[in-house]
Every structure is written in structure tokens, then in C-alpha cells.
Amino acid sequence: MTDYLEIKSIVKSFDGKINAVDGVDLSIAKGEFITLLGPSGSGKTTTLLMVAGFEHPTSGTIELTGRDLTKIPPYKRNVGMVFQNYALFPHMTVEKNVSFPLRMRKFNRSEIETRVRRILDLVALTDHAAKYPRQLSGGQQQRVALARGLVFDPDVLLLDEPLGALDKNLREQMQVEIKRIHREIGITMVYVTHDQTEAMTMSDRIAVFNKGKIEQIDVPLKVYREPTTRFVGEFVGDSNLFDGLVKGGAVDVTGIGAIRPPRADPKLEGRAVDVLVRPEWLRIVAPNDRVADGELTFEIVVDDTINYGDSILLFGKAQQRSVRVRAITSHAGIFARGAKVRVAIDPANVFLIAR
């Protein structure tokens, strides 16, 4: 895949003092689904709005197929936009809402009818064409907004937290719908969210934003398993982060013990590191269980638990250090508050983050 949409050294300051977006570089391939993930105020939505043309960069450029868009107004960019609040016209039917971008672009009536019919079929709203937004569910309204953003065949579709107003079940249904549509039409999508699950399940790549900068860009599994910074390790998924010191290829985990990760970077030798162990990477060791060679075991005292039905999340302490363990078990009663539980870390499930 070659670069299609290029964001080059983009800076945005609203007051001339603090950069809301601080030197962001991002290359996006044609047909890619990329998610800008980060907490509120991290710069992800401002970056999206600059691609759309609703905000102007303080410096830097935005290029689409080599064309500089930086100073081109939004209506000349051929970029679609889907907002969190849908932004539908309440006095227009579904058909009129979807056809609005075509009418603004002076398409002829026959072409408008053909395109609207095709896109309503794509989002499964053909039977609702004559309804008004108030007659639709939240998920249906979001599909109208999606259809309106796609009907004029934009070069890029931008989605700004489009599922934030939906409940959990509807949100999951719409994740599947958006991925299906992306797969069927192959359009380039740039998706903004603070929801890690959305980012992990929908994206080809994730760009993790923090304080106006991108901390890591990678495929979802690598962002989860191999975060390049402590922030990414903490923000994406549940995590245990211990203090460690690398010595002789092994890492001494402060107050717990030593373990030898198979992929320890030689450049970390002699350095203090953050030791990342996801809660599901820890294994509960029953009294008669065998401990494999190389595994590090230690004891935690249970403080509390959350029962998810298919698993239990234990909150405990080891040498006054907080530890989370996700266990797939139906025996919730054995993890009562104050219980002592032995856990094991497989060296293959340890990742070191340089400080």
C-alpha cells in the first residue's frame, strides 16, 4: 500500500502558547481503516477537524494523493464527515438527508435517485426512506449519517466518535456494520475514539495520541502486546506495570523476583524499565499445579474482585504493589477478600518498556 493521505508536521495552537496538536506526522494508505485513539484533550479530534478543513493548522501540511489540502475549504476537499451527534436535519426525511450533499453538488435528479437508492440499500435503510429522524432509533440515525457521508463517493470518510451516543449493544452492532461497509466499498476511513475496544476491534492500525503527539502507530495487537511507552501500556487495556532492572539478560522485578524474557532488547542491559504484564497473562497456581521452568511465581493478597460471568478480575497486592489478575474460573468463592493466591508469570508474557 502506498501513502494516500499524508499529515505532515501538523501543529495547532488555539492561544499561541500551548499546542493542542504538536507536530503530528501520519501517513495513511488508500483503503485503510485507521483509528486515532486517546483521552479527551489529546489532540485526536482537532487533527481530524484539520483533515476535514473545519480547523486550520498553525503550521504543517495535509496532502491527499499529492494535492495540498491545507488551505482548501471543506466543501472543495471531497471528504465525508460523520459526527457523534448525527447532525441530521430534523425537518427532512431520511431520503432528503442522504441526498443533501448531492443536491449541494448539483447532481442531476436521476443520479441522485440512483446513488441514494444504492447507499440506503448498503446501510439497510431502504424501508425507512420516507421517515424523519425522530421516528428512528439511535442506531438507525447513525446509519443515516453514515449514508450521507458516503453518498457522494468521498476520497476519505472521517468519523468523530460516531458511536459515543449509543448503548453498549447498539455500539457493538454498529462496529460490525461500519467494518462491513468498509470491507464492501474499500473507502479510506479515519476514525476517532477514546474507546479502546472500538479501536482494537475495528482498525487496521491505531495511532495513540497523548498531549498533542502520537506516542505509537501500529497494528492493534502490537499496540496491545508491545507498547512503546508507559502511557500506551496503561491506556490501552488493563495492565500491571512493575519496576524492573535488566541485568545479564534477565529482569529483576522489584520486590517480586527475577525473570528472563525471551525477547529482551540488549540495548536495555543495565537500565531501569517498566515491566508490563497484562492481567490475563498471569496464571493462578493451585496447590498441586506444576510450575514450568522459567516461570516466576509470587503471592498476592486479594483486596477485591469483579465477576464478569466468563471471568473474574482479582485486585490484590504483592509486597504492597497493586496487581490485577484475570482468571477464567467459576469458583469465585475461593477469591474472597484477604485470601492468599499464588500466581505465575510465563517469561514469554513479559514485555519491557524503556524508561
Q: Binning pLDDT at 50, 70 and 90, where does residue 31 land? A: very high
Helix H segments across the chain? 44-52, 94-104, 109-122, 138-150, 168-185, 196-202, 220-225, 230-235
Per-residue cell: 248: 545479564
Q: Could you tell me what percentage of the chain is helix, strand and coil, using 3-state DSSP and rounding each to the nearest 5?
A: 30, 35, 35
Q: How many CB atoms lie within 10 A of CB 142?
A: 28
pLDDT in tens, 89-137: 999 999 999 999 999 999 999 999 999 999 999 999 999 999 999 999 9
Count of Cβ atoms closer than 10 Å to residue 116 Cβ:
23
Q: Which tens digit of pLDDT belongs to each residue from 159-189? A: 999 888 788 888 888 899 899 999 999 999 9
What pLDDT does 335 receive?
A: 83
Q: What does residue 91 show for φ and ψ, rounded to 5 degrees?
A: -90, 0
What gap in Å lies between CA 17 and CA 32, rounded to an integer?
Answer: 34
Residue span(s) of the chain under CATH 2.40.50.140 come to 238-354
Segment 55-74, tens digit of pLDDT: 999 999 999 999 999 999 99
Confidence of residue 149 (pLDDT cuts 50, 70, 90): very high
> What is the homologous superfamily of the domain 3-230 according to CATH?
P-loop containing nucleotide triphosphate hydrolases (3.40.50.300)
pLDDT grade, residue 9 (50/70/90)? very high
User: Where does CATH 3.40.50.300 sit in the chain?
Assistant: 3-230
pLDDT tens by residue, 270-304? 999 999 999 999 999 888 888 888 999 999 999 99
What percent of the chain clears pLDDT 70, i.e. is strictly above it? 98
User: In sequence order, what are the residues at sequence separation of 6 or more whose Cβ sits closer than 8 angstroms to the Cβ of residue 77?
Assistant: 52, 53, 64, 69, 155
By C-alpha distance, which of 210, 143, 142, 160 is closest to 55? 160
Cβ atoms 4, 188 nearer than 8 A: yes
| Cα 174-179-182 angle, rounded to 5 deg | 125
**Mutual orientation of helices 168-185 and 109-122 as an angle, nearest 10°?**
130
Most confident of the ranges 103-112, 256-265, 326-335: 103-112
The average confidence (pLDDT) of the chain is 92
Instruction: Give the pLDDT score at 255.
Output: 87
Contact 287, 341 (CB under 8 A): no
- Identify whether the C-beta of residue 98 lies closer than 8 Å to the C-beta of residue 151: yes
> What architecture is the 238-354 domain classified under in CATH?
Beta Barrel (2.40)
